[in-house]
Amino acid sequence: MVLLGWITTGNMNNARYWHRASLLTNGKVLVTGGWDYSSFLNSTELYDPSAGTWTTTGSLNNARSRHASSVLTNGKVLVTGGRNGSSYLNSAELYDSLTGTWTPTGNMHDARLEHVASVLANGKVLITGGWDGGSCLNSTELYDPSTGTWTTTGSMNNARYGGTAFILTNGKVLITGGWGITSVLNTTELYDSSTETWTTTGSMNNARYWHAACLLTNGKVLVTGGWDGSSYLNSTELYDPSAGTWTTTGSLINGRSEHTASVLTNGKVLVTGGRNDSSYLNSSQLY
């Protein structure tokens, strides 16, 4: 019998919060930026699973936190937006794992943080929503890796930040929840890259922000936890793309937000960490 559990591994070189992590094509994990409770970071580092160790790699051109990170089809990593303490960023840069260096690429049209990024089947990157320091955004834009340029695309029906985005098996992008202009949202919408338009789909049973979502092996999307503006949620629900509807499913043992949800090779979902009313969590649960 195999016992599941947690073991410690190497510590990062820098403590960091609001950073981002990306799994590279070589199997290593790239961690970028963040905040260490005293300064915004431009440092980045690589985790080697075979050795369980971290090594520093090239620094970002701009320190940033609450940004987005995407692995492109060419293997490079695109980092976009975020905040560096003094300003909200529209800058973007590319990491080349072969050289360990970052190079600036075209700036987004809008500065934004807590936006979401999705790599489409055509290789372009869709950036949606976010916060620009003064307002919640419904704008979206596309990055073309072949030219290093951005073009605006259809605006969402609802401005939002802190939501989730997943590419469904039919190629459409599902955006869920987040913080809207005045409140936490239960609305969801779909982006069709062939028409560059957004259409609303079924609303979640609970409004939620800082939740986690994952695409299950059956093509449904599982959304877990989050915050509804007054309490941390233990509720979870499933989106069925064929019907465009949400149904509630088993509740988490602990309400939590700002956690992660990952689909394991056996099809189960691992939920880890986050926070609730009383503490930051080290607990994990399986669905």
DSSP per-residue letters across 28-90: -EEEE--B-SS-B---EEEEETTTTEEEEEPPPSS--BS-EEEE-TTS-EEEE--B-SS-B--
Q: What are phi and psi of 48, to 5 degrees?
A: -105, 105
Of 94, 92, 95, the closest CA to residue 107 belongs to 92
Token pair, residue 102, equals 């970052």
Give, in degrees to the nearest 5, the angle at Cα 256 between 252 and 257.
130
Same fold, 1-155 and 159-287: yes
Of the candidate CATH numbers 2.40.50.1070, 2.120.10.80, 3.40.190.10, 3.40.1160.10, the domain formed by 1-155 belongs to: 2.120.10.80
Indicate the pTM of the whole model: 0.94
pLDDT of residue 169: 96
Q: What is the mean pLDDT of residues 224-242?
A: 97
Which of 2 and 43 is assigned the larger pLDDT?
43
The predicted pLDDT at position 281 comes to 87
User: What is the mean predicted confidence (pLDDT) over 65-73?
Assistant: 97
Model confidence over 45-55: pLDDT tens digits? 999 999 999 99
What pLDDT, on a 0 to 100 scale, did the predictor assign at position 165?
Answer: 96
Q: State the Cα–Cα distance between residues 250 and 235, nearest whole angstrom.
A: 7
Q: How far is CA 139 from the centre of its chain?
A: 17
Q: Which fold has domain 159-287?
A: Neuraminidase (2.120.10)
Q: Quickly list H helices, the chain.
A: none
The predicted pLDDT at position 202 comes to 99
Sorted by where each begins, the domain ranges of the chain are 1-155, 159-287
Mean pLDDT, rounded, for 179-207: 98
Per-residue confidence at 2, pLDDT binned at 50, 70, 90? low
Give the per-residue pLDDT at 223. 98
Let me know if 260 is exposed, middle or buried by CB neighbors in 10 A (0-12, 13-18, 19+): middle
pLDDT, tens only, 123-146 = 999 999 999 999 999 999 999 999
Using the predicted structure, report yes or no on whether residue 25 has a pLDDT greater than 70. Answer: yes
Q: Convert the pLDDT of each residue in 135-185 to its tens digit.
A: 999 999 999 999 999 999 999 999 999 999 999 999 999 999 999 999 999
The pLDDT of residue 186 is above 70: yes
